[in-house]
Structure 1
Amino acid sequence: EARAKARVDQWIDWQASDLNKSWSYAFMSLVRHSPGHQDSHALATSCDDWSRHMEILDRQLDSTGAYVIGDKFSLADIPIGLSVNRWFETPLAHPNFPAVSDYYERLNLRQSYRLYGRNGTP
């Protein structure tokens, strides 16, 4: 199914480029406490950008009703799911994204996600 594979690739690429880029400064500041990442303006910008990207994911999950590309778990849910865990485990103000929250709980039903994703570490 070429079309389904392309959608998986699209979301994996989005996670690796756009989403990861948005949270990198905030994560280094708030979790790693990097001395080189303590600029308050850059931190606020990163948090806002991260929230904007999580809103994109929330809309996508709301449209599919379950997983990133549809009603079944796919390869795209592995990197996206890890990023969702990082989102919830990073100490910052989290806007309410109901579809992302539901997705996080749905992923938590998977033993492998609890072991490697939602295991208490960002």
Structure 2
Amino acid sequence: MPHASRIRPRRLAAGGLMAGCLLCGVALATGGVTTQHITQKGRAFAPGAITLHPGEKVEIVNDDGELVHHAYLEHPDFSFDTGEQAPGSRIVVAFPSKGSFTVLCGIHPKMKLLVTVK
């Protein structure tokens, strides 16, 4: 589970994120940058591994009809925390720097997404 003192983005009534979430490393989608789609379904990320370039984005979607997911990453160079994602919700995260990252689910501990930024 993520550290209890982690800053978590707040949800708007429509399921979006407040602009303050940028402070915790979550970037909202803007045009012109490649975005890869990752689904959370059946207690797994799909695909389970992706390769990006610095600045590219990942859209993490909870495609499970009943389960809540909670994707997060704790790394010395880059961290984010989606908070609980209800079914149908989505969040876009930009990976700003090169490295190897493992995105985890705080609710389903076997869920892992490997992100390589080259």
Q: TM-score, normalised by structure 2?
A: 0.29
Choose between structure 1 and 2: higher strand proportion: 2
Q: TM-score, normalised by structure 1?
A: 0.28
Larger CA Rg, structure 1 vs 2: 1
Choose between structure 1 and 2: higher helix proportion: 1
